[in-house]
Amino acid sequence: MKTITVHASRTYPIWIGAGQLAQCGQLLRQQRTPQTAAIVTDDNVDALYGATVQVSLEQSGFHVVKFVFPHGEKSKCSATLNQVYDFLCENAVTRTDCLIALGGGVVGDLTGFAAATYLRGLDYVQIPTTLLAQVDSSVGGKTAIDLPGGKNLVGAFLQPTAVICDPDTLQTLPRKFLADGMGEVIKYGMIRDEALFELLEQYTLDTIHDVIADVISTCIDIKRNVVEHDEFDTGERMILNFGHTLGHAVESYYHYETYTHGSAVAAGMCMMAKKTCSDALYERLCRCVTAYDLPTQVPASLAELVPLCGKDKKRASADLRFVVCEMIGNASIRSMPFAEFVAWMAQ
């Protein structure tokens, strides 16, 4: 097992290792006296891993209660959040108890937000089971729910007290979601780590499993470093958004139905690279993205997509901030008036 420690407003361990899911009780017992552990998960993940986690926690002396909601982004909403609050209330969960977010980014974001707000805040542990959640959403303390008006519009920063990352859980993950997570993995290579990118170039979606634990650790360590420098997303953390400005526009243009987040980010990275990188680098990125069954472009034109970039909630006043990556492993943040960005992308 490997441990990466995050030093942010809270210092916490990320335990990474095959088989750690079944050890979660023992791991958490190192940190806290057993009290109530409230598992929040979705129906898919519960069927696969709910019992393993529950048994491990109970064997380590925790009193376990569990709330299960239907899988999918539609559940990351105020209605499910209210159900979680009611469940915590009915089970008399107190501030000395903890929530366990068992699942992908939807479970992690929703449970984290419940933890940030119920009783004005209680501890939570992330047990991510998708690649995207393992390399990205379970680390760094961003929690949120969606509103009818947009994704992640209500949220809070709250770091978990621990993250338990078991790459074995990826064996049951549908191929589409594995590819989705690889979009974020390729992004880490592009923004910070040429050696990671070169490693990814040697594998495909069918073979990456052989090195996935090391790949996950590398990505988590990159995210740890970025979060430690800019926990509250006022500057450097923005580099994690490489590919996201156009990626969000792709997701929105297709009403969040055609492209998963990671595939939209992959296309967004390639579209931005085409604009800002040498032909050789652009083609290299496209080859890597294609090897992981991800798109390098989408049918919608830039003229259709670029106006939607202005709807990004992170836009600061009239200026649009976006990330460019002119060399592998080296990203920078640019800012320009939105109208200028539209004209520049149209050139």
Q: Supply the minimum distance, in Å, between the C-beta of residue 346 and ligand GLY.
A: 28
Q: Is 240 in the site for ligand GLY (CB under 6 A)?
A: yes
Q: If binding is defined by CB under 6 A, does position 166 make contact with ligand NAD?
A: no
Q: Is the alpha carbon torsion for 73, 75, 76, 79 positive or negative?
A: positive
Given ligand NAD, ligand GLY, none, residue 132, with its beta carbon under 5 to 8 Å by kind, binds: ligand NAD
What is residue 93's DSSP assignment? -
Q: Which is nearer to ligand NAD, 64 or 145 (CB)?
A: 145
- Binding partner of residue 180 among ligand NAD, ligand GLY, none, CB under 5 to 8 Å per kind? ligand NAD
Can residue 45 be called a binding residue for ligand NAD (CB under 6 A)?
yes
Which residue in the set 14, 27, 50, 71 belongs to the binding site for ligand NAD (CB under 6 A)?
Answer: 71
| 48, interface contact from ligand GLY, ligand NAD, none, CB < 5-8 Å by kind | ligand NAD
Strands (E), the chain: 2-7, 11-16, 36-42, 63-69, 98-103, 123-128, 142-147, 150-157, 162-165, 319-327, 330-337
Footprint of ligand NAD on 124-163 (CB under 6 A):
129-130, 132-133, 136-137, 140, 142, 151-152
Q: Of 28-36, 37-45, 193-201, 263-271, which segment contacts ligand NAD by CB under 6 A?
A: 37-45
Q: Which residue, 33 or 234, has its beta carbon nearer to ligand GLY?
A: 234
Q: Which partner in ligand NAD, ligand GLY, none is near 105 (CB below 5 to 8 A by kind)?
A: ligand NAD
Q: Does 42 participate in binding ligand NAD (rule CB under 6 A)?
A: yes
Copy the structure tokens of residue 312.
């990004």
Q: What's the burial of 126, exposed, middle or buried (CB within 10 Å: 0-12/13-18/19+)?
A: buried
Q: Which of residues 182-241 bind ligand NAD (CB under 6 A)?
A: none
- How far, CA to CA in Å, does 150 sit from each of 84, 172, 230, 308, 313? 21, 30, 24, 13, 9
**Which residue of the chain is nearest ligand GLY when measured via CB?**
240
Total residues binding ligand NAD (CB under 6 A): 30
Gap between the Cα atoms of 103 and 155, Å rounded = 18
CB atoms < 10 A from the CB of 36, how many? 18
Distances 90 to 158, 208, 250, 282 between C-alpha atoms, Å = 24, 44, 41, 54
**CA–CA distances in Å: residue 39 to residues 32, 185, 187, 231, 287:** 16, 27, 31, 26, 40
Radius of gyration of the chain (CA): 20
- Select from 75-83, 135-143, 286-294, 310-318 the region that touches ligand GLY (CB under 6 A): 135-143
CB of 237 to ligand GLY, least distance (A): 5
Query: Any contact of residue 237 with ligand GLY (CB under 6 A)?
Result: yes
Residues 6+ apart with CB under 8 A from 257: none
CB 212 within 8 A of CB 167: yes
What's the token pair of residue 1? 């097992």
Q: Can you read off the two tokens belonging to residue 52?
A: 């393993």
| Site stretch for ligand NAD (CB under 6 A), options 169-177, 191-199, 306-314, 331-339 | 169-177
Find the shortest distance in angstroms from Cβ 80 to ligand NAD. 12
Q: Which of 66, 71, 76, 142 touches ligand GLY by CB under 6 A?
A: 142
Distance (Å, rounded) from C-alpha 93 to C-alpha 260?
35
Number of neighbouring beta carbons within 10 Å of residue 244:
25
Selection from ligand GLY, ligand NAD, none that 107 binds (CB < 5 to 8 A by kind) is ligand NAD
- Contact call for residues 100 and 53 (beta carbons, < 8 A): yes
Footprint on this chain of ligand GLY (rule: CB under 6 A): 136, 140, 142, 233, 237, 240
Footprint on this chain of ligand NAD (rule: CB under 6 A): 42, 44-45, 48, 71-73, 76, 103-107, 109, 129-130, 132-133, 136-137, 140, 142, 151-152, 169, 172-173, 177, 180, 261
